[in-house]
Amino acid sequence: MHINPVILPALLWLYTISGITAMPIGTPDLSHCQPFSNETNCCIINSTNIVDFKLPDKPPETLRVRPAAHLVDKEYILKYANATKLMKSLPFNHPWNFIQQANVHCAYCDGIYNQSNFPNMTLEVHGSWLFFPWHRMYLHFHEKILGKLIGDENFTLPFWNWDSAEGMEIPSMYTDANSSLFDNTRWKNHKPPNILNYGFLDGRSNNNMTRQIEANLRVMYRIMVSGAKTTELFLGGPYRAGDDESSSAGSVEIEAHSYIHLWTGDDMSSFTTSARDAIFYAHHSNIDRMWELWKGLPGGKRSSYNDTDWLDSAFLFWDENLQLVRIRVRDVVDTKMLGYVYQEVPIQWLSTPPKVRDGEEMSSAFSLVELPVMLDSAVNINVELPERKMESMEEVLVVDGIEFDARVHVVFDVYVGGSGTSRKAFAGRFDHVPVKKWKKGAIGTLLVRKRLVLGLTDLVEELRLERGGRALVTLIPRSDRGVMKVKVGAISVQLST
């Protein structure tokens, strides 16, 4: 249930006149949980004793190093597998139990809690500026608990280095059927030596491994460099108390993150169950690493938000001392303060920028439509391209009013070109990871409304599009999981400072 949009401005006005200007997302009330069903209960184990997370005054002298999963030795694998085995052997109602740990992700990512300060609004940490910091918190506590179970306070999670050619297949530590790190629900046809193809070579799948690796690296360049020049493009759009879930996901979240979830397999292919596969934590460790890498890239406005609504958003987790801890985003903006860094490995995508192709997908042949439109086939839309008043302005493509059933996998590609030319460029992808179930008693569809924001400036310049003129945006639906019904409400090119 959402707040009526007619009422929301009045609530915001009341906040303003009362002197309350900050509206960060508050910690959920764990005593009011709405489980999906008796079979799927993701409610976090509650406690009446909640303590605040305490960040040290300075980083430790020796930082823990999270290693690349494909580079670890046998000793590390045995240690990690033993820690996970111990976690899985705990009583089911123990907060450290592996399924209870997985339930934490389910709880915050499938809307079974409401916002504490807006009790009629569901809480969702995907698709906004909360995505990166929340998952950093989650991994931090999971890592600490694993270390506690094996008596090693220096233990670190590995990262799945899927952004490098050597790391684009499932790491070997997760493929041993006798290991606690194995999950038998993964897609069998995606086990090694098959590699990820989240790039879809120039928009199409292919069987050439060398070309696929290159296509993947080009996608990484776009979502980390050319398409992620501002804080909002990378971290995602604002999500404040009282907002619904229609904010915009950042570049890495909406593409590489989502596709790898879906590519890996059944547990991983839904937010409801994804953390039941141990590879989830390696996947998100690399997502966390992307945040650190992005901040160090040259060009653009690559810094985290300083908005107090972001910094003061707070969540609850069980820690390694069996305490329920309240932690805020401001506590996790620096990994060194949390005591860890990442192993340095070559960053291959930095030297692999995307290429613009002529006549890509023959998109000029697709029908020209007016919005809104049901995206049941590929379509073209004419969009005005505003003139930039300052060179520092970034052009962003906003695809708004994307409506669909959240229980369905929805994916479509976006191309941009000139209205009078066949030159097209792949601008990005919308990729939604479905939920498996919803609240008990739900019937019909679970309609959600999302938006997609893509960095466009480099493409405009490379395509030599005329600012002040028109661009042709092509949307191409893609799904290998049956029919998807998705509606697109509006498309525009906007200027961001």
Q: Annotated catalytic sites, by residue? A: 105, 126, 135, 257, 261, 271, 284
Distance, in Å, from the CA atom of 157 to the CA atom of 139, rounded to the nearest integer, reads 8
Distance, in Å, from the CA atom of 280 to the CA atom of 129, rounded to the nearest integer, reads 20
- Cα first-last separation, the chain: 34
Distance, in Å, from the CA atom of 444 to the CA atom of 349, rounded to the nearest integer, reads 43
Distance, in Å, from the CA atom of 111 to the CA atom of 397, rounded to the nearest integer, reads 28
10: tokens are 């009045």
Distance, in Å, from the CA atom of 157 to the CA atom of 80, rounded to the nearest integer, reads 8
Q: Cβ neighbours of residue 44 under 8 Å, at least 6 residues apart? A: 30, 33, 100, 103, 104, 107, 316, 318
Q: Cβ neighbours of residue 48 under 8 Å, at least 6 residues apart? A: none
Nearest to 330, CA basis, from 354, 348, 350, 304: 304
CA 63 to chain centre: 26
Pinpoint the alpha helices (H) of 249-363: 251-252, 258-264, 279-295, 308-311, 335-338
Quote the DSSP letter at residue 96: T
